[in-house]
Structure 1
Amino acid sequence: MKRCFLFLSLVTLFAVPCLASRTLTDEVGRRVVVPDHPHRIICLMPSVTDTVYALGAGDDVVAISDYTKYPAAAQKKPSVGDLIHPSIETIVSLHPDLVIGYQPRGPLEVTDQLDRIGIPIFLVSPHGIAGIMHSVDTIGQALNRMPQADALTHSLQLRVDAVKARTNGLPAPRVFMPIWYDPITTIGKNAFITEVIEAAGGRSVTDDMSAEWPQVSMEVVLQRAPEALVIVRGGKMTFQVLESRPGWGSMAAIQQHRVYYIDDRINFASPVAIDALEDLAKQFHP
């Protein structure tokens, strides 16, 4: 009871009425009333932070979430906590006039809490390259920066189209991307990385698996005979780790030391993912 009273006191002390006059529909179908010109923005997902900065609104960001890496300037902002359970008390104390989050996999607990307090929260749900473009547009609407959003999506699409044009008709290397080794977890048909590999001129040997992150046996991997591996540069999953694991030495890609290292920006469904796409395309087709 005392904790509840303290939290309500924080809400009373710190919540700031939002001067809002626009009603938008976010990417999960919610109607959200947002300010004409948000100037105190909290980003609840690293990919959201990257997009907001890419739209030129970095100076208006008052807080980010844990694990934010891009752009580097955003790391100087305070964090409100992890992606699933951010600190509501911290969010309220920062007087945001707009919170931008990512569609959660579970219940909308944080969204419901902020709604009850009266802090507008706008959710995005990017899926694939087209989803990145769409989220740039919708966040641009929320920030009232549509000219910037139009220019950004146009430049990003030109870069994607240029890669596809350069690699069109070239032999696509058949690759396997291990996310983890025990159990062996990889990328399926609906994973964003699968689409990036294809756009870069390659093909994942597991692109027919319906699960986003399927678990497979070593027998399945060997049957599909990938020509090379794709590994995120600087991560815990390294070539040396795989080479030392039972069964992996039977794979031709391991025996021949054929591996492509993809930039870790591939993990962000935001403009920086296009950097990773271009990097991978240069490796597939030098």
Structure 2
Amino acid sequence: MHRLIYSFAALLLTVQPSAGGDFPVTVTSCGREVTFEAPPARAVAHGSNLVEIMLALGLEDRMLGYSGRIERVEAATDLFPAAATLRPLQRGYPTLEMLLEEGTDFYFSGWSYGMRVGGEVTPDSLGRYGIAVYELSESCIRLGQRNRPGFDYLFRDLENLAATFGVPERARALIADYRARLDRVGTRIAATTNRPRIFIYDSGDKVPITAGGYSMPQAIIDAAGGRNIAADIESSWVRIDWETVAERDPQAVVIVDYGEVTAEEKIAFMKEHPAFAHIAAIRDVRFLVLGYDDLTPGPRNILAVERLADFLHGG
């Protein structure tokens, strides 16, 4: 493991908030050990699901703002009113220039969640300027780390971020609530032997994108009492072919609602395609629409389990 130590004193443009917890704090991010001498004060998160993780921990006062799709963060106010107070910094992936100009001291992102392998913005490139990076645990597979994600990934990210910002008690409270809700679902479906086959339909008409066995939806489907038809694919979000989908005959389709193509259009495409007529989910009209933030790592994953379990096994 690489050990990186960040001291923020020379970089902070605002008064350093008082630190809770014990510092220095060391956390592990995709195999790197990152040590913080004090909590960050000018953080940037990329994407609505990572922003929601920060907001669930009550860290909006430590954030400069965010990068990524503005409309998704604006929509987060249904659960996190503080999202309305955050400043959009860049619509797409952030540039190194923007992060430096804003005086960023911490970047919460992931591989394919605000960073690309070999890209301009990476832990190494930002580290040269004293900007610490914490990587979303699910995204570490893009670096070749083959560990199936479960809710322990989400809980680890919450614990590590809370420790980094000196508020470990906030993560403990959230995780206790999430575990209790997952346990209630598990108890309710424990007696059922029916585990319906599920296809996650993200996007694409000629070649669909779905969730493989190393994606957060795998953990959600498992917890809700279903079977992911792409569980054997050792990746996270992947392209497969429609022939494989048809052969594996999903009994339910979960539509990821985001982007320019609406959920209704995705459903219509599958229902109207003659090659899919024999698929059980199409024949029985078994579609569940969930949002991007329900299915990418974040606080809404627990709600996604509850909704999927209700859909598959009855409320």
Please give the root-mean-square deviation of Cα atoms over the aligned residues, in Å.
2.8
- The answer to whether residue 217 in structure 2 is matched with residue 208 in structure 1 is no
Give the partner amino acid of 1:176.
F
Q: Which has the higher strand share?
A: 2
Structure-1 separation of matches of 2:90 and 2:282 = 39
- Note the 1:59-98 alignment, pairs <5 A: 59-67=61-69, 68-69=72-73, 70=76, 71=80, 73-81=82-90, 84=93, 86-98=94-106
| Cα drift, residue 72 of structure 1 | 5.3
Distance 1:221 1:144, change over 3 A: same
Q: What's the counterpart of residue 11 of structure 1?
A: none
Q: What's the counterpart of residue 280 of structure 2?
A: 252
Structure-1 separation of matches of 2:171 and 2:199 = 34
Give ranges in structure 1 of 5+ residues lacking alignment.
Answer: 1-13
1:42/1:96 contact within 8 Å kept: yes
Distance 1:177 1:121, change over 3 A: closer
User: For 2:230, what is the secondary structure of its paired residue?
Assistant: coil
| Cα drift, residue 64 of structure 1 | 0.8
Kindly, what percent of the aligned residue pairs are identical?
A: 25
Distance 1:198 1:124, change over 3 A: closer
Distance 1:43 1:172, change over 3 A: same
Distance 1:231 1:147, change over 3 A: same
- Equivalent residue pairs, number: 272
Residue deviations 1:85-142 (CA, integer Å, cap 9, x gap): x133332233334332324451364233322222333333234321001100111111
| Cα drift, residue 81 of structure 1 | 2.5
- Note the 1:1-286 alignment, pairs <5 A: 15-16=11-12, 22-67=24-69, 68-69=72-73, 70=76, 71=80, 73-81=82-90, 84=93, 86-103=94-111, 104-107=115-118, 109-110=120-121, 111-126=123-138, 127-170=149-192, 171-179=194-202, 180-233=204-257, 236=261, 237=263, 238-286=266-314
User: For 1:89, what is the secondary structure of its paired residue?
Assistant: helix
Give ranges in structure 2 of 5+ residues lacking alignment.
Answer: 1-9, 139-148
2:189/2:313 contact within 8 Å kept: yes
1:99/1:119 contact within 8 Å kept: yes
Distance 1:113 1:202, change over 3 A: same
Q: Which structure is larger by alpha-carbon Rg, 1 or 2?
A: 1
1:26/1:124 contact within 8 Å kept: no
Distance 1:213 1:38, change over 3 A: closer
Normalized against structure 1, the TM-score is what?
0.82
User: For 1:56, what is the secondary structure of its paired residue?
Assistant: coil
| Cα drift, residue 190 of structure 1 | 2.0
| Cα drift, residue 271 of structure 1 | 1.4
Structure-2 separation of matches of 1:220 and 1:99 = 38
User: For 2:153, what is the secondary structure of its paired residue?
Assistant: helix
Structure-2 separation of matches of 1:266 and 1:245 = 27
Residue deviations 1:131-175 (CA, integer Å, cap 9, x gap): 001100111111111111111111111111211111112122222
Normalized against structure 2, the TM-score is what?
0.75
Give the partner amino acid of 2:107.
V
Structure-1 separation of matches of 2:209 and 2:288 = 18
Distance 1:206 1:58, change over 3 A: same
User: Which sits farther off after the overlay, 162-171 or 178-187?
Assistant: 178-187
Q: What's the counterpart of residue 4 of structure 1?
A: none
Distance 1:207 1:113, change over 3 A: closer
User: For 1:266, what is the secondary structure of its paired residue?
Assistant: helix
Q: What's the counterpart of residue 141 of structure 2?
A: none
